[in-house]
A and B are shown apart, each in its own frame.
Chain A
């Protein structure tokens, strides 16, 4: 079965510090990978998605970047965090080829980032 791991679960970082959040998927190959951010009491904002190693698409301009060094690894980074980067970050995966009954996204457990 497929599993998605995301860590850390919580993180408190000072303004101006770097960030690295990691997400890995097991039990599948060639997944589509996604990073979402969710502000408190808000909806899901798609930040980045990737359809393959080294292929990153950015949905919104921001202080963050993403990388996919391996097929099942997706990393969210920042060189200098801003207060506005605080939020709940979610990684998700889906099958590369949309097939019947396989359309959904599977989400990780999320990382709550507080920038102080």
Chain B
């Protein structure tokens, strides 16, 4: 859910290494998941999504893994670059029509060190 009162956890990764950002979601009925990237002073931007009937999806340098058994989502970034430094949010979707809702996770700050 939305833990907006908490400071964002931080993950420090050396340039060139792989990053893994984790997210625990709350509702087993959620049918769709999205990862967003938010750079400083900007709005969140869509990175990659995955439907609940999948367990893995790959994009360019990014992979999302979904483990429905433990309600866990992860974002893997290969060969992390300085431009990957940002806050990353996972989001889970549930409901239909006007009752559909996207709930954001706490967020994780990724710091890429040179």
Q: Enumerate chain A interface residues (CB-CB to B < 8 A).
A: 6, 32, 38-39, 41-46, 51, 88, 90, 92, 94, 96-98, 100-101, 103-110, 112
Contacts and interface: CB of A to CB of B under 8 A. Distances in A.
B43 A43 contact: no
B98 A96 contact: yes
A90 B43 contact: yes
List of 8 A-B pairs having minimum Cβ-Cβ separation, nearest first = A107-B43, A45-B4, A43-B4, A98-B100, A51-B98, A44-B104, A43-B107, A43-B106
A41 B8 contact: yes
B4 A110 contact: no
Most buried by B among A51, A88, A94, A104: A104
Interface in B15-49: 32, 34, 36, 41-46, 49
Contacts, number: 72
B8 A42 contact: yes
Given A41-B8, A43-B8, A107-B43, 5 more contacts: A38-B4, A39-B4, A44-B44, A90-B44, A105-B102
Interface of B: 2-8, 32, 34, 36, 41-46, 49, 51, 89, 91, 93, 95-98, 100, 102, 104-107, 109
A94 B7 CA distance: 27
Contacts of A44: 2, 4, 44, 89, 104, 107
Contacts of B102: 94, 103-105
28 contacts: A6-B43, A41-B7, A41-B109, A42-B8, A43-B3, A43-B6, A43-B105, A43-B106, A44-B2, A44-B89, A45-B2, A51-B98, A90-B43, A94-B102, A96-B98, A98-B96, A101-B49, A103-B32, A103-B34, A104-B34, A104-B49, A105-B44, A105-B102, A107-B36, A107-B45, A108-B43, A110-B42, A110-B43
Contacts of A41: 7-8, 109
B4 A42 contact: yes
A109 B42 contact: yes
